[in-house]
Amino acid sequence: MPSANLSYRAVFALVLKRDLTIALRHKDDIINPLLFFVIVVTLFPLGIGPEAQTLSRIAPGIIWVAALLATLLSLDRLFKSDHNDGSLEQMLLSPQPIFILVLAKIVAHWLITGLPLILVAPLLAVLLHLNEQSYGALMLTLLLGTPILSLLGAIGVALTVGIKKGGVLLSLLVLPLYIPVLIFATSAIDTAALGLPYSGQLAIIAALFFGSLTLAPFAVGAALKVSTN
């Protein structure tokens, strides 16, 4: 790491760039959760039946639940490799504020996993016969909601990173915290399908986003300190 007198923005950019470079070198880390997302969504019509009406009714829930699970699957790599090779401890020991470092890592995680999910989602919505009026709501809720998934998930990963079999535990810790996002996002999409305004739900998701943006990095920092000592 370069000298201590870096501006916060430079620190943020450095960590972000580092994480993105690492991710681009291990492309399967990006592709696998995405494939999982697509496969889970295609399983539902096979299990439920091909009727367009049923599928369009349950499409928002399926897409969002699959997005939750895909994010959960990808969370593990947020701190794991850094913890294994010791660079996480170096980061915590550096004079830079943990808030910035953690935030940069979470943003990188969202760019690697959340953004591809959003790009694939309309395609899957077509497969599920989502109501045409709902596409805007789907994209907006995913855009605002997936960062929340990354932020809250980071708390769970930070708590379990020191544990050998943390994977199952992680889902137990994180999934209950995802419930409000799921409820408001699917309700916004449903409301949009009826042609009604859904700005209320969107505002609540935005509030959740900003709330977790300001609070989650602190919790992640505290959790990482516990996990690394």
Partner 1 sequence: MWKWLHPYANPEVSYHFTGKLIPWLSALTALFLSIGITWALAFAPADYQQGDSFRIFYLHVPAASLSMGIYVGMAIAAFTSMVWQFKLADASAAAMAPVGATFTAIALITGAAWGKPMWGTWWIWDARLTSELILLFLYLGVIALHNAFEDKNLAGKAAGILTLVGVINIPIIKYSVEWWNTLHQGSTVSKLGKPSMSIDMLWPFLFCFLGFALLVATIICIRFRSEILARNSIRPWVRALVAEHLLQEKNNAV
CB of 143 to partner 1, least distance (A): 19
Residue from 67, 32, 72, 75 nearest 171 by CA: 72
Contacts of 100 (CB under 8 A, 6+ apart): 8, 11, 12, 15
CB of 156 to partner 1, least distance (A): 8
Rounded distance between C-alpha atoms, residue 181 and residue 64, angstroms: 9
**Residues at the interface with partner 1 (CB under 8 A):** 155, 159-160, 162-163, 165-166, 169, 172-173, 175-177, 179-180, 183-184, 187, 208, 215, 219, 222-223, 226-227, 229
The residue behind tokens 């504020």 is 97
CB of 173 to partner 1, least distance (A): 4
Between 113 and 160, CB nearer to partner 1: 160
Between 120 and 220, CB nearer to partner 1: 220
Rounded distance between C-alpha atoms, residue 48 and residue 70, angstroms: 21
| Assigned token pair, 129 | 């016969």
Between 119 and 163, CB nearer to partner 1: 163
Rounded distance between C-alpha atoms, residue 134 and residue 191, angstroms: 8
Between 37 and 146, CB nearer to partner 1: 146
Rounded distance between C-alpha atoms, residue 226 and residue 126, angstroms: 45
90, HSE (Cβ side, Cα atoms, 13 Å): 9
CB of 87 to partner 1, least distance (A): 21
CB of 83 to partner 1, least distance (A): 14
CB of 1 to partner 1, least distance (A): 26
Between 44 and 178, CB nearer to partner 1: 178
Residue from 99, 194, 203 nearest 145 by CA: 203
Q: Are 152 and 180 in contact (CB under 8 A)?
A: no
Between 32 and 228, CB nearer to partner 1: 228
Backbone torsions φ then ψ of 34, nearest 5 degrees: -65, -45
